[in-house]
Amino acid sequence: MSRSLREVVFVDGVRTPFGKAGPKGIYAETRADDLVVRVIRELLRRNPALPADRVDEVAIAATTQIGDQGLTLGRTAALLAGLPKSVPGYSIDRMCAGAMTAVTTTASGIAFGAYDVAIAGGVEHMGRHPMGEGVDPNPRIVSEKLVDPSALVMGSTAENLHDRFPHLTKERADAFALASQQKFAKALANGKLGPELVPVATRSAEQGWGVATVDEPPRPQTTLEGLSTLKTPFRPHGHVTAGNAAGLNDGATGCLLAAEDVALELGLDVGMRLVGYGFVGVEPEVMGVGPVPSTERALARTGLTIEDIGLFELNEAFAVQVLAFLDHFGIADDDERVNPWGGAIAVGHPLASSGVRLMTQLSRQFAERPDVRYGLTAMCVGLGMGATVIWENPNWEGFAK
């Protein structure tokens, strides 16, 4: 029995405003699963042509699957969001690449014919659930020296990356971080960012009810002088600071994926078309280098080259990690194709949710850039992995010729 694979498209993506983790953050007293519910409902509201019973799967990622981020979140959030009880769901964990893996996993099912439409996304409430809460790492990991102890501390892995590539100086990382803040502020002022945000009702025992409508982490007042004075918490006289790394954040993302023929049948938008993806493992001690080989794998599997990529959405877990990627592929730090609307250093990185933020921004950029055919989303992943997904712009002007 032979099968032909179907084209898979990204229809739409949304996210909650991202908050700062901790007791003073906007989501301090808001449940993680309620953030996911809000995202699912908004996807259905924005796409009224999609009957709820045509959703075949809900895959939601979380790095710390405990408490209100546990209990098979994809299924429980689907029920809470009001989807028919016939719609299944599940949870997924690939740390920072959780939502990205939720997308590629469900998209593969769509391509194979197991689904027509799926919802994929992620959530992280790092205020309620710090990374690693409740875990019990096997002592063999350290005792048998499978990894250096620094591999279990993400900031330390970034310092290790600075060691491996000493030309990636703190000054260069700070300059990249400042540019991220500036690009985000400019994109926000120009209306590029905001339409993808879902207002979220919040509560506080002291202040009562509120509505979260804007991201909390950005620091538009950032200066190079200010960045140069920040402490290096992971190593005395180190390179990694709170200014050139993403913060600890809360937030949720979600997207609609569909077979292209089904999207056209239902009258759904086609934001971008999946081309291919790659996941790889690297030395956990320098996990930030992961997007380099994952991108090489994705390019090789799709027959493309780095020169074919017209837009890059790279997750800025740490500035040094993005700089290592750019250097490897011969791309300038200030290349206009890279994170044109800023990145996680400015807006935040709620771990498992971030992959869909990258995709949503790329899709919106494709709509404005018919001169660009291909774009990619990529990120480093805890415990030594890299993840890359390549997309095609359905608005590419070459299709009209």
pLDDT digits (tens, 9 = 90+) for 130-142: 988 888 989 898 8
For the stretch 229-285, pLDDT in tens is: 999 999 999 999 999 999 999 999 999 999 999 999 999 999 999 999 999 999 999
Cα 307 to the center of its chain, rounded Å: 23
194 Cβ neighbours under 8 A, 6+ residues apart = 188, 214
Q: Does residue 237 have an active-site annotation?
A: no
Q: Does residue 349 have an active-site annotation?
A: yes
Higher pLDDT residue, 131 or 45? 45
Catalytic residue among 125, 239, 255, 380: 380
For the chain, which residues make up each domain, given as ranges? 146-193+275-391
Q: For position 142, what pLDDT does the model report?
A: 80
End-to-end CA distance of the chain: 37
**pLDDT for residue 4 is more than 90:** no
Cα 157 to the center of its chain, rounded Å: 19
Q: How far apart are CA 381 and CA 118, in angstroms?
A: 24
Report yes or no: 347 and 296 within 8 Å, Cβ to Cβ.
Answer: no
The answer to whether the pTM exceeds 0.95 is: yes
For the stretch 99-114, pLDDT in tens is: 999 999 999 999 999 9
Q: Could you tell me where the beta strands, DSSP code E, fall in 151-246?
A: 200-204, 208-212
Domain covering 146-193+275-391, topology = Peroxisomal Thiolase; Chain A, domain 1 (3.40.47)
Give the Å distances, CA to CA, from 387 to 112, 227, 314, 379.
21, 29, 10, 5
Q: For position 1, what pLDDT does the model report?
A: 67
